[in-house]
Structures are given as structure tokens and as C-alpha cells.
């Protein structure tokens, strides 16, 4: 990611946003009437409209100031997805046993945080690059570890980093729980708003797109 500001989009606005993941597939109908389907993207990409979360002129002014500080679409930033922001179910607090992220080999000290959707061979594993560091909980071979003493998270990559004396041994399963943000940028070069229209109930469009 060439230019990322490690700041979060206004929370009050993000929780009222709409959006979700996008998949791009190519579907060709054969002469037999059957379809041939191919995935054009290996990973989903999330799109949001934060305009639906703007409830007051103060919210609108805050978003405009944030837009200016990011230089429009130039710099990416953190966004709290109102629908998918935890390693656990939405109504539960994360635990150190939520997601399996790897297996120790006695030498590897860095592991990518992952969230798995579905089960079995069809499951999709999503790489989490912007965890909320203080929420990351880790267990190795079923034993919870201590943050700072045993592990930390890399602020640049979001990877889990074990300290020298806590590197998982060969065959030990590593699990983790966490809250996370989505790296996004503004998907527009201009914000257009009208105070009169806003007071009349017309919501401005504030498009955001995930940065992969």
C-alpha cells in the first residue's frame, strides 16, 4: 500500500454506512444452454457508501475535513465495517480461539492474521491487514499467550509477531481473535453537498472502496 494514513474514518458515520463485499465472475452461456463460470478476482473487494451514515451537519463537516486531510483519494485509511469487524460472530466478544491462523515449525515467528468464511474445501480465508492491535488475543496449542511479553502486531503489515522466546514449536496450532478495520480510500475526487438539500432529507453520496 503506497500511501496509508493510520487513522480511522469517523466511527459515528461508519456505523450508518451501507455496503459490503464485491465478487467479479465471468459467466459464459454455452450453446448447450449450460453456463461456464470463472472467477475474475481471487479475493473479494468491499465497497461502501458512508453518506447513509451522515445524520447531522456536524457529521457532514467532519467527513469533509477528513476528506481534505486525506487529499481526496490519495491516501488510504482505516474504516470500521459495521457488518464485519470481528473474528467472532457480531454478538460475541473475540476470544483467542476464534480463528486458526497457522501451525508452528519451531522457527517461524511471523504469521498473517486470517478470518475464515465457510467450512471445508469451499472455505474462503481472508487476510486481515489492519487489526486493532490492543484487541488481538492469541493462543498456541490451546494455551493463551500474553500480549507484549509473547507477541505483538506489526503496525505496517498487521502480522502477528512472536517474541524470540515464544516462537511456536513444530506442530503447535496457532489461533487468534481480534477486532479489525478495512483499509479503504475515497472512491471519488469530489464531495458534493448542499445544506438546503441535506435539511430536506437528501443524503450526500460518500463512496469508499477497499484497498487490496
Give per-residue pLDDT as tens, 96-147: 999 999 999 999 999 999 999 999 989 999 999 999 999 999 999 999 999 9
Q: What is the pLDDT of residue 65?
A: 95
- DSSP three-state, residue 100: strand
Q: What is the pLDDT of residue 102?
A: 96
CA 19 vs. chain centroid, Å, equals 13
Phi and psi based region of residue 88 (left: phi greater than 0; alpha: psi -120 to 50; beta: remaining): beta
Please write down the long-range contacts of 27-30, taking CB distance under 8 Å and 24 or more positions apart. none
Domains of the chain, by residue range, sit at: 1-85+182-212, 87-180
Q: CA-CA distance, 196 to 191, in Å (whole number)?
A: 16
For the whole model, what pTM was predicted? 0.90
Q: What is the pLDDT of residue 135?
A: 97
DSSP 74-110: TSEEEE--SS--BSS-TTS---TTSEEEEE--SS--E
Cell of 172: 503447535
Q: What is the pLDDT of residue 60?
A: 87
Q: What is the pLDDT of residue 200?
A: 57
Phi and psi based region of residue 96 (left: phi greater than 0; alpha: psi -120 to 50; beta: remaining): alpha
Are 60 and 198 within 8 A, CB to CB?
yes
Low-confidence stretches of the chain (pLDDT < 50) are none
Amino acid at each position: 500500500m503506497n500511501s496509508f494514513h493510520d487513522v480511522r474514518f469517523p466511527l459515528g458515520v461508519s456505523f450508518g454506512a451501507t455496503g459490503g463485499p464485491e465478487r467479479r465472475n465471468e459467466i459464459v452461456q454455452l450453446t448447450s444452454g449450460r453456463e461456464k463460470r470463472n472467477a475474475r478476482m481471487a479475493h473479494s473487494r468491499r465497497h461502501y457508501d458512508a453518506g447513509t451514515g451522515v445524520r447531522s451537519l456536524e457529521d457532514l463537516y467532519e467527513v469533509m475535513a477528513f476528506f481534505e486531510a486525506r487529499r481526496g483519494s490519495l491516501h488510504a485509511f482505516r474504516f470500521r465495517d459495521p457488518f464485519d469487524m470481528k473474528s467472532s460472530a457480531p454478538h460475541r466478544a473475540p476470544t483467542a480461539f476464534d480463528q486458526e491462523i497457522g501451525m508452528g515449525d519451531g522457527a517461524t515467528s511471523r504469521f498473517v492474521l486470517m478470518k475464515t468464511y465457510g467450512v471445508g474445501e469451499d472455505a474462503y480465508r481472508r487476510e486481515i491487514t489492519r487489526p486493532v492491535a490492543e484487541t488481538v488475543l492469541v493462543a498456541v496449542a490451546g494455551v493463551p499467550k500474553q500480549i507484549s511479553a509473547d507477541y505483538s502486531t506489526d503496525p505496517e503489515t498487521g502480522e502477528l509477531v512472536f517474541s524470540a522466546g515464544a516462537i511456536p514449536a513444530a506442530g503447535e496450532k496457532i489461533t487468534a481473535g481480534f477486532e479489525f478495520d478495512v483499509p479503504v480510500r475515497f472512491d471519488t475526487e469530489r464531495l458534493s453537498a448542499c445544506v438546503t438539500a441535506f435539511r430536506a432529507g437528501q443524503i450526500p453520496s460518500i463512496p469508499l472502496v477497499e484497498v487490496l
